[in-house]
Amino acid sequence: MRVYITGHRGQLGRALLRRLPDAAGGDLPELDITNPASIEAALAEAQPDVVFHCAAYTDVDGAARDPALAYRINGLGTQNVAIAAARVGAALVHISSNEVFDGRKGAPYDEFDHTNPINPYARSKHAAEWYTLHLCPRFYLVRTAWISAPGGRNFIHRILQLADERGSLRVVTDEVANPTFADDLAGGLITLAATGRYGLYHLTNAGHVSRYDYARKILELSGRGHVPVEPILLADYPRASTPPPFGALANTTAAALGISLRPWQEALADFLAAG
């Protein structure tokens, strides 16, 4: 299976490359997915069987400040990737987000729940889903949440940094989703891409948790359990974007194929033990 990875220097892209060392890939500055000619030339040269589309604008608050930029990268960039993949006959594995849901269901979302994005980042990812669904005949549209990887900018590293710098934390209790670890997700995506069972999937580490309880577990497992954490609400934490309050995902369709990721607590313990 010949593989091409967009965004191969990002958290998920690096995890895929570790498992697929012979894969081709591109990222800025040599690959610009907002330029149709750039991605078309890259895929024409690589002639992949599968494209893992990991390149994205993931600064959620930055997207709220500049929605046009988020749409240009996430929406129109995915349009370009989907068209280019279709032209070379490749299947597209597109990575989407739990944020396409509004978070008001109060229970984990399955793959066919109604989407209703409530912030500019979410709307840009929703546009990317539309392009994937309509422009590439063979696709795996995979929604995930709260990705962490070694060396990346993510919630785990931020919690550890702030705990060490400030000695105490304030973390929201009313934002809930699934912690997902890039290496586990990469393994699930590779297995999924080999099935030929195209469609819509949710793939996260098993279980969901609030930001507050997640932070407490991070501190506990990293030997910082003594650091006090004050529970606050989203309304008490002003930010540019508004996340879905209950954005947990349920893995239904991948689990039916025997593809599930281990509990997030187990993955977190290994993540922290590896340093």
Q: What are phi and psi of 249, to 5 degrees?
A: -110, 145
Strand 209-210 relative to strand 176-177: parallel, antiparallel, unpaired? antiparallel
Edge to edge, what strands does the sheet with 199-202 contain?
24-26, 3-6, 50-53, 91-97, 139-144, 199-202
d(CA 135, CA 83): 6
In Å, the largest CA–CA distance within the chain is 56
What are the catalytic residues?
A: 121
* 87 contacts 40 by C-beta, under 8 angstroms: yes
d(CA 164, CA 69): 34
Task: Read off the tokens for 205.
Answer: 């580490």
Residue type, 44: A
131: alpha, beta or left? (left if phi > 0; alpha if psi -120 to 50): alpha
d(CA 69, CA 75): 10
